[in-house]
Amino acid sequence: MKTANWEQLTATLIQANLYQTLKVPKPVFEKSMQCYLMDPAKRTVYEDEMQKLKDEMRVRKLQELTREQVIESVKHLENSKLEAQKKMYEIVRSQRIAPNMINAIIKVEKMRADDKFFNETGIEEEDVEPSLLRLKMEEDEEYKKIVEDFAKQS
């Protein structure tokens, strides 16, 4: 939780400096960012660059997980994704929120799911994929079945 608060505070301070330096009002920046992130190709570029930056700035050593921990983590994370998709579908279907707020809700739900995952497992979400790759589990039958089963449900 402290990390999430620190990240949010840091992001807020950086954004404030950005707006001031560029002399762009916050609402104009936010609207432009939302439009930019609605394009899947641009969103992918943005997320890839953000991940590279996070990797470069990481001070915490990654936790190496066992195969069993990876399998249980993947089940948990896939289930969280499915629940988030259902929640987002319900929000959009019921039109309870403006479409331009969907990206913000997705980010909040992702943080909430990551926090819940850590609280329940003691494992950081960002430790799962490196262990999955290290153990060469992309072709593991049990792993593929879990991913395929959840993909069918979504």
| pLDDT number for residue 14 | 82
CB 46, CB 112: distance < 8 Å: no
Give domain status of residue 127, yes or no. Answer: yes
pLDDT tens digits along 112-124? 888 899 999 999 9
Which residue matches tokens 């439009």? 35
Q: How far is CA 28 from CA 25, 46, 88, in A?
A: 5, 19, 25
Average pLDDT over residues 116-134: 91
| pLDDT number for residue 35 | 81
Q: How far is CA 22 from CA 19, 42, 50, 67, 142, in A?
A: 5, 21, 21, 48, 50
Closest CA to 153 of 103, 94, 78: 78
Instruction: Share the mean pLDDT of the chain.
Output: 84
Q: Are residues 90 and 43 in the same domain?
A: no
Q: Are residues 28 and 95 in the same domain?
A: no
What is the total count of domains within the chain?
Answer: 2
Q: Are residues 147 and 73 in the same domain?
A: yes
Q: Which domain holds residue 81?
A: 67-153
Average pLDDT over residues 57-68: 86
Res. 4 pLDDT band, cuts 50 70 90: low
Give domain status of residue 62, yes or no. Answer: no
Q: Are residues 40 and 94 in the same domain?
A: no
Average pLDDT over residues 129-148: 92
| pLDDT number for residue 3 | 58
Q: Are residues 116 and 147 in the same domain?
A: yes
Q: Are residues 25 and 92 in the same domain?
A: no
Give domain status of residue 26, yes or no. Answer: yes
pLDDT tens digits along 5-61? 677 778 788 878 877 888 888 888 778 877 877 888 888 888 888 888 877 877 778
CB 65, CB 73: distance < 8 Å: yes
pLDDT tens digits along 90-119? 877 787 676 667 777 777 788 888 889 999
Q: Are residues 134 and 78 in the same domain?
A: yes
Q: Are residues 105 and 74 in the same domain?
A: yes
